[in-house]
Amino acid sequence: MPLNNFVSLGKSGLRVSPLCLGTMTFGMDWGWGSTPEESHKILQAFIDKGGNFIDTANFYTKGHSETIIGDFVTKKGFRRDQLVIATKFFGSLYQGDPHGGGASRKAMYSQLDASLKRLQTDYIDLYWMHCWDKNTPIEETMSTLDDLVRSGKVRYVGFSDTPAWKATQAQMLAEHHGWAKVVALQIEYSLLERTVEGDLMPMALEMGMGVTPWSPLKFGVLTGKFTRENKGKVEPGRGDWVKENLTDKAYDVVDELVAVSKELNTTPPKVALAWLLTKPGVVSPIIGARTMEQLEDNCGATEIKLSGEQIKRLDAVSEPKLNFPADFIKRAGTFGSGGTTINGESSDVNPLAPKSDAERFTGKSTASVR
């Protein structure tokens, strides 16, 4: 599946490449990342491969990431409409200003105007709420997003890093009022972060939101670079972001990931991304390439075909402990389905259920009925 095999983003007409280019590493303003020149080469290579989906945020590298993208599109003379440019609001660039960030009407208008200037464009294809703003009524945020869509400055709306219950509330408000709906959900999801399978992923499927996972390689832990054998000997470029995730559980996952990649004569990052692409609801994982080599490797994930047995092995070694009532619901077929098969899922017979009509308490009165 090449990058120009486009897919619909959620319940919308927006068509995006099966991998999205994340640009949090564009600019050296945080002390690490890619220079503007390197970033432009990565952008060009991604587009040459057929990719059209580019993701950034207003505060990435202090706003420089948006500027780098804007400079690239302007200088290269691309037809703006051929690209799907997504950016986010919420992050504050102004210390001491309570309206510098967040999801209030006042903050959103000023953040959008600033992003449009840095990106040198008239509109944003996909405008993400970067995180739920608990200090702003969701009605205010959703009505403002609808106004922005109607104004033509925003084409589609997405949510990132928001609880499932709040995203559902927002979607139901949009449905009720006829506002622009949330078409996409951006959340952390990988072999090392699967707790989203409890609520967020089922919610996205039910609510018509396409999922674009961030950190699909868990800050580089799933690259295969860090193993039990070299534990403590390889210094990660992102320091504690990586170190705090190098647990025994992570090493178990990496061991299996490396084993599968050897079987397929490929690399662990490609396998980790290919596994993610098999998950229902996942539309376009966000790859954060800092170098051309990383981009080349990650883009090859769309060509990897995992067998059913390999997927089961990766599923098993990375299986998460989900919040209640996930496990309870998983076992509910035993007492709710009567030992039948429904939609391809079979259940055991409930040993506590009556085995005959004679054992069944009917609740009928013993008095005669007139």
Residues noted as catalytic:
60
Contact 269, 297 (CB under 8 A): yes
Q: In whole angstroms, what is the distance from residue 69 CA to residue 84 CA? A: 12
Contact 50, 20 (CB under 8 A): no
Tell me the Cα Rg of the chain.
24
Query: Which residue from 188, 212, 115, 163 is spatially nearest to 323, judged by alpha carbons?
Result: 163
How is residue 159 written in tokens?
């949510």
Q: In whole angstroms, what is the distance from residue 43 CA to residue 51 CA? A: 9
Angle subtended by helix axes 292-299 and 268-277, to nearest 10: 50
β-bridge partners, 190: 193
Cα 118 from chain centroid (whole Å) = 25
Burial of 12 (0-12, 13-18, 19+ CB in 10 A): buried
